[in-house]
Structure formats: C-alpha cells, structure tokens
Amino acid sequence: MKMRKKIIAGNWKMNKTAEDSKELAQAIKLDLANVNEVDVVVCPTFTSLDTVSNVIGDTNIKLGAQNMHWEAEGAYTGEISASMLRNLYCHYVILGHSERREYFGETDEIVNKKAKAAIAAGLIPIVCVGETLEERESNTQEAVVSAQLKGSLAGLGASLAKVVVAYEPVWAIGTGLTASPEQAQEMHAFIRKTLAEISDQATADGIRIQYGGSMKPENAAELLSQPDIDGGLIGGAALKAPSFVALVKAAIEA
Ligand code: 13P
C-alpha cells in the first residue's frame, strides 16, 4: 500500500479581516514554517489571500482558497477565477463544501466543472462530500456520498490522482459532534473503494482523504490514526494558532 502524506488544512470560512488574518498567519508561521512531515494549508477568505500569501511566503505552509468560478474570466460579477488564485500563489482550493452546497445551491455538476478548471490551472482541489443527519438516520449515507463522488469527480481521467477528498458529515460541522473514529474510518474506506471504481486501485490508494467536522486537538489523534484517514479539514479549531498547531502536531505523530 502507498504511503500517503497527511494533510491538515484550515478552512477559515467567512471569518477574519485581512488584518486579523495576518495576525493568525504570523502566529501559525512561528511554529509551522518548516514542517515537512505533513502538508499544512491555510484557506482564508478571498480578501485575505494576498496578505496571508505575503506572510507565509515560501515557507512550507501552503495557501488555499475556499471557492472559485469555473470560467477563466468574463462577465461573472462577484466571482474569482482559478488563474486569479494561482496569481496569488494559491496551491489549493476547497470545492463543494457543504455550506456552499446548502446555502448557494452548488450541485455535483458545478463542483465537477470547478474541479476541472482548478486542475487545468494548476490548483489542487479539495473536494468535499458528506451526508446530512437525516441521510445518516435513514442509512443512506453511502449512496449519498457515492453519488457526490461520482458526480463531482466525473471525467477527470489521470488528474483524479491530484485531488484531495474531504469527508465532512454535515451533522458534525460546527456542532461539536464528531463522527466516531470507527464511523469515520468506515466511510473513508467506502470512499476509497468508490474512488477505485471510478479509477483504479493504485490511484485510489494514493488519494488523500481528509476528515472534517469538529476535529480538534482532543479528538485528532484517534481519528488521524485510522488507516484511511489522511488528514483533516478544520473549521473552528483552525481559527486560533495554538489549536491549529496542535492539530498539525497530532498529524505528525499519528
Ligand atoms: P468545524 O471544524 O468547525 O466543525 O468545521 C469543519 C469544516 O466545515 C471544515 O471545512
């Protein structure tokens, strides 16, 4: 089996002005500038990307955005393209987060267009999937996640190997409820099996699958030591340097 390098990404969501972002990035940089056992990513708002990009410079901390448009340029008021993100030295972009699916009507088809445009521009997409509480209670979580994966990742060909998948059960996001390590592992193994169906086993074995949903220093070690959990996509606990740094350290030790 392939060794997968763990990846911890902070999704700052709609939090922090450019000034606040600068402060957080500086604090994170103090501890994480030279980490190379784990990939470290911070995803501030669009308005903070430039500032954070300047703070992290060419350290081992990489920059990610939280969304993008699939077109290269044009009359799309309020939107941002992949090349604009690359121009600010973004390496990653989060796509299809459940908040975008729920509040902004993003479908698998839209996520798929974005994923293709991101890859074409040289960005690594972090593609989010995950079921709602209702779907889990009706035991349809595998069907839901399988459809999301097949729709969002359709037609990527060999580029699929570049994608990072984030499993974020909607019921665990920002709620303090976390999937148990067993529940998360079970779904991550299912996701890998589905990725092998879309591509092949070797590709699926190389793809990193992050867990997201109330991950914090107290529960990280157990989640990150599961065989198919290759990192975390962190919301709340990424907004403060000490907890984000602790999560990266947990990933190094896992
Ligand atoms: P929380 O860590 O705040 O639950 O958020 C998870 C998430 O949505 C990351 O993208």
| 3-class SS string, the chain | CCCCCCEEEEECCCCCCHHHHHHHHHHHHHHHCCCCCCEEEEECCHHHHHHHHHHHCCCCEEEEECCCECCCCCCCCCCCEHHHHHHCCEEEEEECCHHHHHHHCCCHHHHHHHHHHHHHHCCEEEEEECCCHHHHHCCCHHHHHHHHHHHHCCCCHHHHHHCEEEECCHHHCCCCCCCCHHHHHHHHHHHHHHHHHHCCHHHHHHCEEEECCCCCHHHHHHHHCCCCCCEEEECHHHCCHHHHHHHHHHHHHC
Rg (CA), the chain: 17
Query: What's the whole-model pTM score?
Result: 0.97
175 alpha-carbon distance from chain centroid: 18
The lowest-confidence range among 13-17, 111-115, 171-175, 198-202 is 171-175
Whether the pLDDT of residue 224 is over 60: the answer is yes
- Counting residues of the chain whose pLDDT is more than 90, the rounded percentage is 95
**Is residue 53 within 8 Å of 88, Cβ to Cβ?**
yes
Which residue among the candidates 69, 99, 168, 188 is catalytic per the annotation?
168
Which is the closest atom of ligand 1 to the Cα of 172?
4
Whether the pLDDT of residue 210 is over 70: the answer is yes
91: annotated active-site residue: no
9 confidence band (pLDDT: 50, 70, 90): very high
What is the pLDDT at residue 179?
A: 85
What is the pLDDT at residue 3?
A: 83
pLDDT in tens, 194-205: 999 999 999 999
What is the pLDDT at residue 140?
A: 96
pLDDT in tens, 13-41: 999 999 999 999 999 999 999 999 999 99
Pocket of ligand 1 (CB under 6 A): 11, 97, 168, 173-174, 212-215, 233-237
| Averaged pLDDT of the chain | 96
What is the pLDDT at residue 2?
A: 53
For the chain, which residues make up each domain, given as ranges?
Answer: 68-241
> 82: CA distance to ligand 1 center in Å?
23
**Would you state the structure tokens that stand for residue 103, as one six-digit string?**
């509040």
What is the pLDDT at residue 174?
A: 81
> 75: CA distance to ligand 1 center in Å?
32
For residues 170-195, average pLDDT: 92
75 confidence band (pLDDT: 50, 70, 90): very high
Domain 68-241 part of CATH 3.90.1150.10: no
Q: Tell me the C-alpha distance between 27 and 233, whole Å.
A: 19
> 7: CA distance to ligand 1 center in Å?
15
What is the pLDDT at residue 231?
A: 98
Crossing angle of helices 141-152 and 181-198, rounded to 10°: 40
